[in-house]
Structure 1
Amino acid sequence: MTALYLKFLITPTLMLAISLASKRWGTKIGGLLSGLPVTSALVMLFLSLEQGPGFALQAVPGALAGLAAVQATYLFYFLATRRVSAFPGCIAALLVYAASAALMSHLHAVALSVVVTLVMLSLIIVVTARQVVPANAKVVQLPRWVIPMRMLTATLLLLAITASAQWLGPVASGLLAPIPVIAWPLAVFAHVQGGHHELGAIVRGNAIGGVGVLGFYLAVNGLIVQWGTLASIAVAVVLAVVATFVLAKLLDRR
């Protein structure tokens, strides 16, 4: 019962903090923060606490496959919406996500998932490096319903995955963990309201954060059995945050 209370307390609080930061500092910071392993870390934490560290360890390959699929989807959406509008782009991107997630999960190869993720992240960073900001670009203002929606969807996703973990199994549970309940709505809304350059800022920030997410899963994979749940996830989160902001600083200097 304590774990249930923590899910209802921690998840919406973190979503609120990230959403307010995005609103305060803009889409670039919003994309960076939404790319951090917030939902992923919570899913892995509660899977480990409720099902055991061994279950969480078995979920890592699925999570890495899901991460590769998510980044492939972002890259596809960013490139496709140079020629098509947001709605058909979303439909096509969701199909790409389903196909990519199914394929990567079926292959069940950690090394391949890591390589594909790194390739996708690199491509996103390259294609968003030189974006032209229109002279009439407007500041995107989030509507009031966006923040409560993110808090609700993130909490429901966490509850759904952890409640059905035994039925889903570790691989499927891990595959669902990287679903971008924060970043995807933010990306589409920024695209519709602010244009393709705003989408690029979100996608680029999310890709930079994705490097940290990758480090998070690899750290969990290497540490959770030896160090236990809380210590390994805490170290993995710190690693993700440091990697994300160091990379962001390095790219800003270029």
Structure 2
Amino acid sequence: MTVFYLKFLITPTLMLAISLAARRWGTQIGGLLSGLPVTSALVMLFLSLEQGPGFALQAVPGALAGLAAVQATYLFYFLVTRRVGALTGCIAALAVYAASAFVMSRIGEVALSVGVTVLLLTLIIVVTSTTAQAHAANVVPLPRWVIPMRMLTATLLLAAITASAQWLGPVASGLLAPIPIIAWPLAVFAHVQGGHHELGAIVRGNAIGAVGVLGFYLAVKSTIVALGTVPSISAAVVLAVVATFVLAKVLDRR
């Protein structure tokens, strides 16, 4: 019962904190924070607590496949919305996500997922380098209902994945973990209200944050059985945060 209540306490609190930070410090910071392994870490934590560390370990390949699919979706949306509107772009991007997730999960190779993710992150950072920098500190106003929507959606997704984990299995559970509940609405609203340059800032920030997510999953894969659930995931989150902010500093200097 303690784990059950923690799901409904920790998840909306984190969503609220990140959403308020994005509102306060601007588009790229919002993208960077939303790219951190918030939902992913919570999903892996509760999967491990409820199903055992072995289940969480088996979910990592699916999670890495899902991460690659998410980044393919962002890159596609950023590129295609140079020619089409947000609604058409969203529909097409969701189709790309479904196809990418299916293909990557069917292959199931960790090394390939990591390689594809790194390639996609590099491409995103390169193609957004000239459009995002001037708009990184801009604050795009969001409707009042967006933050409560994120809090509710994130909590429901976490509850759905962990409650159905035995039925879904570790691969499908992992595949659902990186779904960008925070970042996707933020990216679309930034695009609609601030234009393509604002979209570039949020996508770039999310890609930088995803480097930390990648490190998080690899750290969990390497340590969760040996260290146990809480130490492994805690160390992986610290690694993700450090890697993200170091990369952000390096890129800012350039």
* TM-score (structure 1 length as normaliser): 0.98
In the other structure, the counterpart of 1:160 is: 160
- Residue pair 2:23, 2:139 contacting (<8 A) in 1 also: no
Distance 1:51 1:132, change over 3 A: closer
**SS in structure 2 at match of 1:175:** helix
Distance 1:139 1:232, change over 3 A: closer
Quote the Cα distance in structure 1 between the aligned partners of 2:56 and 2:194: 39
> Moved runs in structure 1, 4+ residues, more than 3 A?
132-135
**SS in structure 2 at match of 1:180:** coil
Residue type matched to 1:237 in 2?
A: V
Residue type matched to 1:68 in 2?
A: A
The answer to whether residue 236 in structure 2 is matched with residue 221 in structure 1 is no
- Residue pair 1:105, 1:175 contacting (<8 A) in 2 also: yes
In the other structure, the counterpart of 1:66 is: 66
In the other structure, the counterpart of 2:124 is: 124
**SS in structure 2 at match of 1:131:** helix
Following superposition, the deviation at residue 142 of structure 1 comes to: 1.2
In the other structure, the counterpart of 2:47 is: 47
Following superposition, the deviation at residue 134 of structure 1 comes to: 8.9
In the other structure, the counterpart of 1:185 is: 185
Quote the Cα distance in structure 1 between the aligned partners of 2:133 and 2:227: 47
In the other structure, the counterpart of 2:171 is: 171
Quote the Cα distance in structure 1 between the aligned partners of 2:160 and 2:113: 24
Residue type matched to 1:158 in 2?
A: L
Quote the Cα distance in structure 2 between the aligned partners of 1:200 and 1:89: 14
Structure 1, unaligned runs of 5 or more: none
Following superposition, the deviation at residue 132 of structure 1 comes to: 7.1
- Residue pair 1:15, 1:154 contacting (<8 A) in 2 also: yes
Alignment of 1:9-20 (within 5 A): 9-20=9-20
Structure 2, unaligned runs of 5 or more: none
In the other structure, the counterpart of 1:143 is: 143
In the other structure, the counterpart of 1:115 is: 115
Following superposition, the deviation at residue 210 of structure 1 comes to: 0.4
Quote the Cα distance in structure 2 between the aligned partners of 1:26 and 1:131: 15
C-alpha RMSD of the superposition: 1.4
Quote the Cα distance in structure 2 between the aligned partners of 1:126 and 1:132: 10
- Residue pair 2:133, 2:201 contacting (<8 A) in 1 also: no
Residue type matched to 1:90 in 2?
A: C
In the other structure, the counterpart of 1:246 is: 246
- Residue pair 1:139, 1:194 contacting (<8 A) in 2 also: no
Quote the Cα distance in structure 1 between the aligned partners of 2:28 and 2:246: 15
Quote the Cα distance in structure 2 between the aligned partners of 1:63 and 1:125: 22
Quote the Cα distance in structure 2 between the aligned partners of 1:238 and 1:139: 27
Following superposition, the deviation at residue 76 of structure 1 comes to: 0.2
How many residue pairs are counted as aligned between the two chains?
253
- Residue pair 2:59, 2:175 contacting (<8 A) in 1 also: yes
Residue type matched to 2:162 in 1?
A: T
**SS in structure 1 at match of 2:130:** coil
Following superposition, the deviation at residue 143 of structure 1 comes to: 1.2
Quote the Cα distance in structure 2 between the aligned partners of 1:38 and 1:92: 26
* TM-score (structure 2 length as normaliser): 0.98
Following superposition, the deviation at residue 140 of structure 1 comes to: 1.6
In the other structure, the counterpart of 1:78 is: 78
Quote the Cα distance in structure 2 between the aligned partners of 1:106 and 1:193: 37
Distance 1:19 1:134, change over 3 A: closer
